[in-house]
Structure 1
Amino acid sequence: MANLEHLKLLQQGAVGWIKWRNRHHTIEPDLSEANLEGANLRGANLKHVNLKGAQLESANLITANLTKANLSLAYLSLACMIDANLIEASLVSAHLMQAELSYADLSHANLIGADLRGAKLMNVNLSHANLIGTDFREANLKGAMLNEANLRRSNLSDASLIHAHLNRANLTDANLHEAELIGAYLYQADLERANLSQAHLGGAYLFGANLGAADLEGTDLRWANITGANLQAANLKGARLEGAHLNKANLTGAVLDDFTLEGASLQGTILPDGTIHR
């Protein structure tokens, strides 16, 4: 439960809160389970604050400093967190449905099991974030930075990841069904067993990516750079590969239609039967 003194200080306004925090900079305020629904916390210093289980629906947290804050199990649906600082924050199993997080910095944050359905995450920084099992269904991640993020078993179906940066990200067993990844950067990303069926990856950069046993049925990969990628045992039935660069890719055991590779660049590619295309 929240420390009532800390809660009262916050509710009295920004000026008093800032003065108190400056005088007591070693204290980590406890606002756990506090009811701050709709509160105006714009630019607030909430660094290291315990907000576990707090009610923050529709709260204004624009430019707020939530560095290393504990927001696990917090309710942040429809909260506005544009340009907020959430570096190394804990958002385990947090409720962020339709929250506005554009331009927020969530690098190294922990969002295991968080619910971000329909959230707005344009140009957000989630590099190195722990996103195992996170629900991003229908979220807008256009231009997001997700380099080296752990997205294992995450649900990104119908999400927009246009021009997103997912270099060396872990997307094993992730669900990207019908996701928009046009022009996305997936250099050396691990997409083993990922569901990319009906996804749109036109012009995407998949150089050296691991797509072993991935489901790419009906996926649009036109003009994508898949050079040196691993596609062993991948399902490419009905995939569109016109203009795609598959040079030196490994397609051993891949499942595809007779016409799937038509129009693709295949120099040095290991074909499904194990032969090398010359």
Structure 2
Amino acid sequence: MKLRWSRTLTLLPALALALGAATVPAAAADPSPATTPAGGAAQHPTRTAAGSGWNNYSCKPSAAHPRPVVLVHGTLGNSIDNWLGLAPYLVARGYCVFSLDYGQLPGVPFFHGLGPVDASAQQLAAYVDRVLAATGTEKVDLVGHSQGGMMSRVYLKFHGGADKVNTLVGLAPDNHGTDLNGLTRLLDHFPGAKDYIDKLTPGLADQIAGSDILNRLNEGGDTLPGVHYTVIATKYDEVVTPYRSAFLDGPDVRNVVVQDLCGLDLSEHVAIGLVDRVAFHETANALDPAHATRTTCLPG
């Protein structure tokens, strides 16, 4: 028994890191609840400085960009670190941009997205309602990285989001789960490992291909009427494998591989959400398709 648990505990960190490697957390980021807007400078000085220009609840969308954009981080990410590249990029282009923390576990700061995916989707639902009330708009656009792209679809399908979302952009989302290049299949060789992950980090278990939540999510089709979908993937993804499991099938879907737009792009799972300007440009195109411009290796 001791040997079995030794193997299990050896496997769990690898699974956690592989499924969740979304960002490198900043020590000063504040783990505020998902439905709470960023506080003032006296309460959260680092968050306010880091998020300058976004999470501004007095922002009113313009005629050019009439919908607020809600950014949904990945596993082990948070509302600031995951978006240090994309949030300022969108703010500079005139968008009202917001980001939330979700899937928090008690006693685990900074590293979020570990709670059950369905519960996280309910947190997103509450947050979107808060943003809609603050901005006076009827719909938002969502941009989700990794789990954030898939979990947003749970919100759309099961928690009323389809009527409140115009566009969903997924950056390396695990829409059909992941096998981690076969690593998840090793769980069967470690008695108790699946139960251990389900109990301690259900958000990880929910992302394994074939999980109950993924089966329910994709049953009957990948998309919902009225929502525009864009998936931006990288063939170098080492977390969502195979990388094409990110893609959606249905009407009003655009599936993109960044290397098809720029053969020099070497971004993997983390970089596509954090620093990849090709992915950022494609995101901007998806949010404003009427003014989309060609994406190259040197996008604007």
TM tier, smaller: under 0.3
Q: Which has the higher helix share?
A: 2
Max radius of gyration: which structure? Answer: 1
What TM-score results when the alignment is normalised by the length of structure 1?
0.27
Q: Which has the higher strand share?
A: 2
